Amino acid sequence: MNIKIHGGGSGTYANADSSSALVNYLQHEDLARMKQGAAPEPFFNQEKDYIRSQEVIYRLDHNKAQLGKSDAKFYSITVSPSEKELRHLGETKANQAQALKDYIRQALMPAYAANFKKGLGAEDILYYAKVHHERNQETGKEDMHAHIIVSRKDISNKLKLSPATNHRGT
C-alpha cells in the first residue's frame, strides 16, 4: 500500500479553514458513477458505512477547539493499493472496495491512533473516508484508492493530533 498524507498550503488540500472544499472534491467521482448506473460511493468511518457529506463537513468543522485561525484543522490521507494488492483484496470491484474499507478500519486507523503514543484507538480518531474506483480512466489500469479526512483533534475535541509533527513525550 502506498500511503500519503496531504495538508497545508492552498488548493484542494488546504486545511486551515473549512473541510467543505475537500469534501466536495472527493465527491467528483459520484456523478460519473451515477451516469453509468452505479450507486455513489458514500463516506464511511469507524462506526458507520453511509455518512452524508453535510455531516462530514459539520463534524470536522466543529471539532477544532483551541486551534488557531491558521492552524491545520484536518489532514487528508490517500491509500493506494498496487494492482497486485487490489487483486489480492478481491475478484470484484465491490469485494475490493469492501476489503479496502476493512483495511482502513481494522489496520490503518488503529495504527494511526497508536502511533501518537497517547493511548488512543481508532474509535478515538475523528475521520471520514471515501473509496474512489478510478483515478485516470485513460490508463486502463486498476487504480482503486481511498481518501481519509482526519481531524486534527481527537473525537472528544480535547487532544491535538498531527501526523506532521513529532511531539511524543512532551
Going edge to edge, which strands form the sheet with 74-80? 2-6, 74-80, 145-154, 125-132
The C-alpha atoms of residue 65 and residue 153 are separated, in whole angstroms, by 8
Position 170 confidence tier, pLDDT thresholds 50, 70, 90:
very low
pLDDT digits 0-9 by tens, 132-160 = 987 555 555 668 999 999 999 999 999 99
Give the whole-angstrom CA distance, residue 1 versus residue 79: 7
| Closest to 134 measured CA to CA, from 151, 146, 117 | 146
Give pLDDT tens digits for 85-96.
989 999 998 999
pTM of the model: 0.90
**Residues 120, 124, 126: CA angle, nearest 5 degrees:** 135
Distances (CA, A) of 78 to 31, 66, 72, 128, 150: 21, 27, 17, 12, 11
pLDDT value of position 4: 92
User: 71 by DSSP, 3-state: which?
Assistant: coil
Domains, the chain, ranges and CATH? 2-154 (3.30.930)
Q: Round to the nearest angstrom and report the end-to-end CA distance of the chain.
A: 31
